[in-house]
Structure 1
Amino acid sequence: MSIQLIASDIDGTFLNDQRDFDHARFQAQLDELNRRHIKFVVASGNQMAHCQEVFADVKGDMTFVAEDGALTMEQGKILDDNPLKPALLRDAIEYLLTTPAFKDAKIILSSQHRAFTNMEKSGSDWSSSAYFYSQLTAVDHFKDITDPIYKIDTHWTNLEDVREQAAMLKRDLGGDLGSVMSGFNGIDITMPHVTKAYGLQQLQELWKVSMDETMAFGDTQNDEAMLKHARLGYAMKNAEQEALDATDLITPLDNNDSGVLDMIDRVLSGEIA
């Protein structure tokens, strides 16, 4: 069956290490995808506002699955949203703030248009985090936040490997909340059913597109479920081991050589069907 839906992660996948992509090349590709009625989906762990900013100068029909699948939008319309339930959000924050293994963790609560953090503006992580989060706001505590929160981003400044902390979260949170490593030494906490695969499945059902007609690209653990939910689920050549373990398919080129755009060209030329 021919490809009718292409989904791609952003960081380490669609973007190069300079956080950019070939805009003219992708615009031409998207024009052709739209002409052929092939859906293009941005599937990211990032905040919705940031995802939209990355593609702000691209014109055409694109759909955004943000916050690891917790929020899906198309043409400015919310198709599906799954914020953290307030009681679960409070419990998760309490756990992170009182568990010794998470003592030095930086915490960011992500809503659609804003984000709230225990980081200080003078801290070394502020500028890098502000790139990913629109209207990042430092708060003394998280008690008075009323925005729907889609994801808790937990990360560390000096930890290169958070697998131990990720395993601890899965063990201690049980089935009440979901957690997944997201790259950049971070762990995302969401509602338990939320994954990029969940977001993709909602779109497949809406558009009547099968897994056999779906192609996906990713590079970290939070892409694992999505890669398994597409017939052509590709780990990037530069992917982390968790993504590589999820599929037998690997892109010939890495993110710094426009690996996703190369594969889209192969679809459009008929080399991949």
Structure 2
Amino acid sequence: MRRPSLIASDVDGTLLDPMARLTDRTAGVISRVAATGVPFVLVTGRPPRWITPVVQSAGLDGYAVCSNGAVLYDIGTSRVVDSHGLDPMLLHDVTHALERALPGMRVAAERASPARDVPVFVTELGYRNPWGDEDGAAAVPRAEVLGHPATKLLVRHDRMSSEEMAAAAIEVLDHAVDVTFSTNHGLIEFSAQGVTKAFGLARVCELFDVPAQDVIAFGDMANDVEMLRWAGHGVAMANAHPRALDAADEVAAPNSEDGVAQVLERWF
């Protein structure tokens, strides 16, 4: 591949090291990329509220694609530019169908631009993130979780893997929504039909007038698969999920060894 015209990178498990830190080597190559004017775009499952520490340590400006492609976020103005969500009726229908396939599940919802006094993140009573941090969200009844439009529905089950959950969900939902996961520890994520990281990245590339073939994208999990396939050159980390490895054009060193930086140092 010739020098890319736009760089897209997942965050956790890809750009950050296993301790969720941006190393000096990776920060250095991001700085050199910025000096050339080539856009460096974060494309992540994280919501906008979890982006700030990463963009500050990386010195990034411009756009980030958040919530698995559902939210286009302007870093400089801290503003949601565009979002694609799930309406309450669909949230209820999806959750009702999932209860048959995943008994004992708990749900949470991310919201991009809520109405006044509507929190951006809510969890059902008993919901627990795999990493044990509920981010200060108040536990509310399920009806309240599902009662407002959401950019992402999260479903948790502490006795199943994410792979098992996703397979069961796809079977009962028949592609009514997009199903993916960014960890294999019993958490799956739902977006509106057709909304993936590739969808969000394509929107950014339209703004910069950059064709897909001139994009290099980095990722490590199942929620990166569509983006790795869409980009002109998709790079999976050596620590990646098998689905990401299969989708990639290249396998780089793991995130513990600055795999993103090693690839980008070919041009920057």
Q: TM-score, normalised by structure 2?
A: 0.86
Whether the aligned pair in 1 keeps the contact of 2:108 and 2:145 (CA below 8 Å) is no
2:47 maps to 1:47: yes
Identity %: 27
Judging changes above 3 Å, is the alpha-carbon distance between structure 1 residues 145 and 86 closer, same or farther for their aligned structure 2 residues?
Answer: closer
Provide the C-alpha distance between the structure 1 equivalents of 2:62 and 2:25, rounded to a whole number of angstroms: 16
Alignment match, 1:263: 263
Runs of 5+ consecutive residues of structure 1 not aligned to the other structure: 269-273
Whether the aligned pair in 1 keeps the contact of 2:125 and 2:141 (CA below 8 Å) is no
Alignment match, 1:7: 8
Judging changes above 3 Å, is the alpha-carbon distance between structure 1 residues 189 and 126 closer, same or farther for their aligned structure 2 residues?
Answer: closer
Alignment match, 2:188: 187
Deviation at 1:147, TM superposition (A): 5.0
Deviation at 1:266, TM superposition (A): 2.4
Deviation at 1:146, TM superposition (A): 5.7
Q: Deviations over 1:87-114 (max 9, x none)?
A: 1112122233x32x42232322112373
| Structural mapping, 1:1-273, within 5 Å | 1-22=2-23, 24-74=24-74, 75=76, 76-96=78-98, 98-99=99-100, 101-112=101-112, 114-120=120-126, 125=128, 128-130=131-133, 134-143=135-144, 148-159=149-160, 161-185=161-185, 186-251=187-252, 253-268=253-268
Deviation at 1:85, TM superposition (A): 1.9
Judging changes above 3 Å, is the alpha-carbon distance between structure 1 residues 56 and 104 closer, same or farther for their aligned structure 2 residues?
Answer: farther
Provide the C-alpha distance between the structure 2 equivalents of 1:52 and 1:165, rounded to a whole number of angstroms: 30
Provide the C-alpha distance between the structure 2 equivalents of 1:10 and 1:59, rounded to a whole number of angstroms: 14
Provide the C-alpha distance between the structure 1 equivalents of 2:164 and 2:109, rounded to a whole number of angstroms: 22
Paired positions, count: 258
Runs of 5+ consecutive residues of structure 2 not aligned to the other structure: 113-118
Judging changes above 3 Å, is the alpha-carbon distance between structure 1 residues 138 and 259 closer, same or farther for their aligned structure 2 residues?
Answer: same
Whether the aligned pair in 2 keeps the contact of 1:45 and 1:67 (CA below 8 Å) is yes
Two-structure CA RMSD over aligned residues (Å): 2.3
Q: Deviations over 1:23-56 (max 9, x none)?
A: x444433332222111111111122211233333
Provide the C-alpha distance between the structure 2 equivalents of 1:249 and 1:27, rounded to a whole number of angstroms: 22
Deviation at 1:71, TM superposition (A): 0.2
Deviation at 1:135, TM superposition (A): 4.3
Q: TM-score, normalised by structure 1?
A: 0.85
Alignment-mate amino acid for residue 171 of structure 2:
R
Whether the aligned pair in 1 keeps the contact of 2:107 and 2:142 (CA below 8 Å) is no
Provide the C-alpha distance between the structure 1 equivalents of 2:54 and 2:184, rounded to a whole number of angstroms: 18
Judging changes above 3 Å, is the alpha-carbon distance between structure 1 residues 215 and 164 closer, same or farther for their aligned structure 2 residues?
Answer: same
Q: Deviations over 1:6-34 (max 9, x none)?
A: 11111211122211121x44443333222
Alignment-mate amino acid for residue 108 of structure 1:
A
